[in-house]
């Protein structure tokens, strides 16, 4: 599990502390490490994924581990194979940049969430500087199939940039740019906000996520600086450009939940709801 998985698990654990038995879905769970780890910790964690073509081994691995079918389910014809209003929290790590039809997916996510249920999603938007799948800066801002983009990728790859560098140069460029065109859909942050806002109240959780990361790094002394608005603004803006965004959304509810974890931004719950719990990172 990487730091994002630990972070999402921490948020899920805190929600479960306040609502014992809370049901949690990891959307686009891939090989479902977070589902397995969450279950080991006693959380009611499930996963769903379309298992897209580039990773055929994922589904095979899940089958071999006996997870596929119950705890982890395959999304077919766009339907998340779970009941209406059956989850308190949907987590998602590095998935929404792969979703072509966001309108349909968000409708499904809303369907499976209980009123007042939450979504926490980590994924890059168009504004990111380094395209993470290829490892090349700004390549996702260039026109698909342009000679200019191909030559740019060739030169940068020849200079040592890029991911998965075992393939020969021209094959690497063809494969990686092909993957980008077929499986990655970057959207500007304001478009993401608009799409989610059709179903949810939306806010951002990057400051909280950056604090979590700092706490676990050698730069933990910087965490306090996040209390200064200009530093917090700079740190989160830099994080968005260099890594990804963290979005939190809440399905509307007439009845406010009695217990809402402290990581839920106040904007999404109103000031009158008592805040319980904290998300101080696990020091281990
Ligand atoms: C980069 S992987 C991330 C996997 C996992 N979330 C993790 O953190 O390890 C992207 C995953 O998104 C899934 N995916 C792509 N498009 C999807 C969609 N429309 N709905 C659900 N899952 C999707 C892929 O099958 C793949 O497992």
Correct CATH for 3-127+186-276 of 3.30.2130.30, 3.40.50.150, 3.40.50.300, 3.40.50.1240: 3.40.50.150
- For residues 121-145, average pLDDT: 95
Judged by average pLDDT, the poorest of 153-162, 189-198, 256-265 is: 256-265
Q: Given this model, what pLDDT does residue 256 score?
A: 64
User: Does pLDDT of 89 surpass 60?
Assistant: yes
Q: Given this model, what pLDDT does residue 102 score?
A: 97
Measured by CA distance, the residue closest to atom 1 of ligand 1 is: 94
Q: Given this model, what pLDDT does residue 281 score?
A: 44
Gap between the Cα atoms of 254 and 214, Å rounded: 37
Judged by average pLDDT, the poorest of 46-50, 84-88, 102-106, 171-175 is: 171-175
Instruction: Give the position of tokens 């499904």.
Output: 108
Q: Which residues contact 200 (CB under 8 A, 6 or more apart)?
A: 106, 110, 119, 249, 250, 251, 252
Judged by average pLDDT, the poorest of 12-16, 54-58, 61-65, 194-198 is: 54-58
- For residues 111-123, average pLDDT: 96
User: Does pLDDT of 157 surpass 80?
Assistant: yes
User: Does pLDDT of 263 surpass 50?
Assistant: yes
Q: Given this model, what pLDDT does residue 16 score?
A: 95
User: Does pLDDT of 259 surpass 90?
Assistant: no
**Token pair of 36 as six digits:** 């397995």
CA angle 137, 140, 141 (to 5 degrees): 95
Q: Given this model, what pLDDT does residue 49 score?
A: 96
Instruction: Give the position of tokens 């030169």.
Output: 155
- For residues 21-32, average pLDDT: 96
pLDDT tens for 239-257 read: 999 999 999 999 988 666 6
Closest listed residue to residue 105, CA positions, set 92, 114, 115: 92
Nearest atom in ligand 1 to the alpha carbon of residue 4 is 8
User: Does pLDDT of 177 surpass 80?
Assistant: yes
Query: How remote is the CA of residue 52 from the centroid of ligand 1, in Å?
Result: 7
Strands of 87-93's sheet, edge to edge? 72-74, 44-49, 23-27, 87-93, 113-123, 245-250, 201-204
Mean per-residue pLDDT over the chain, rounded: 90
271 falls in which pLDDT band (50, 70, 90)? Answer: very low
Judged by average pLDDT, the poorest of 50-54, 126-130, 143-147, 181-185 is: 50-54
Q: Are 117 and 89 in contact (CB under 8 A)?
A: yes
Query: How remote is the CA of residue 136 from the centroid of ligand 1, in Å?
Result: 21
Pinpoint the residues of the chain covered by CATH 3.40.50.150: 3-127+186-276
User: For the chain, where are the alpha helices, taking DSSP H only?
Assistant: 3-18, 33-40, 56-64, 102-112, 147-158, 169-183, 189-197, 206-215, 229-242
Nearest atom in ligand 1 to the alpha carbon of residue 51 is 25
Query: How remote is the CA of residue 53 from the centroid of ligand 1, in Å?
Result: 11
197 falls in which pLDDT band (50, 70, 90)? Answer: very high
Prediction pTM value: 0.91
Inter-CA distances, 111 with 102, 180, 235, 283, Å: 14, 30, 35, 36
- For residues 28-42, average pLDDT: 96
Q: Are 23 and 90 in contact (CB under 8 A)?
A: no
77-81 contacts: CB < 8 A, separation 24 or more?
78/104, 78/105, 78/108, 79/108, 80/25, 80/27, 80/48, 80/108, 80/109, 80/111, 80/112, 81/48
CB atoms within 10 A of CB 215: 15
């Amino acid at each position: 599990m990487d730091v994002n998985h630990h972070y999402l698990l921490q948020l899920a654990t805190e929600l479960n502390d306040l609502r014992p038995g809370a049901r949690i879905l990891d959307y686009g769970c891939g090989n479902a490490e977070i589902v397995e780890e969450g279950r080991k910790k006693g959380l009611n964690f499930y996963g769903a994924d379309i298992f897209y073509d580039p990773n055929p081994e994922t589904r095979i691995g899940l089958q071999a581990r006996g997870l596929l079918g119950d705890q982890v389910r395959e999304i077919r014809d766009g339907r998340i194979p779970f009941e209406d209003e059956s989850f308190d929290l949907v987590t998602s790590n590095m998935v929404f940049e792969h979703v072509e039809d966001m309108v349909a997916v968000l409708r499904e996510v809303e369907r499976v969430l209980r009123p007042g249920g939450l979504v926490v999603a980590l994924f890059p938007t168009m504004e990111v500087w380094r395209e993470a799948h290829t490892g090349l800066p700004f390549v996702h801002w260039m026109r698909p199939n342009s000679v200019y983009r191909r030559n740019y990728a060739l030169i940068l790859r020849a200079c040592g940039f890029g991911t998965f560098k075992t393939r020969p140069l021209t094959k690497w460029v063809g494969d990686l740019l092909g993957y980008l065109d077929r499986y990655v859909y970057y959207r500007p942050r304001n478009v993401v906000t608009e799409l989610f806002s059709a179903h949810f109240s939306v806010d951002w959780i990057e400051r909280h996520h950056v604090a979590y990361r700092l706490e676990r790094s050698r730069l933990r002394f910087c965490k306090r600086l996040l209390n200064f608005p200009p530093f917090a603004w700079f740190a989160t803006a830099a994080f968005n450009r260099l890594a990804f965004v963290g979005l939190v959304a809440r399905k509307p509810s007439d009845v406010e939940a009695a217990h809402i974890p402290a990581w839920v931004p106040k904007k999404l719950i109103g000031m009158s709801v008592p805040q319980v719990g904290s998300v101080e990172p696990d020091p281990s």
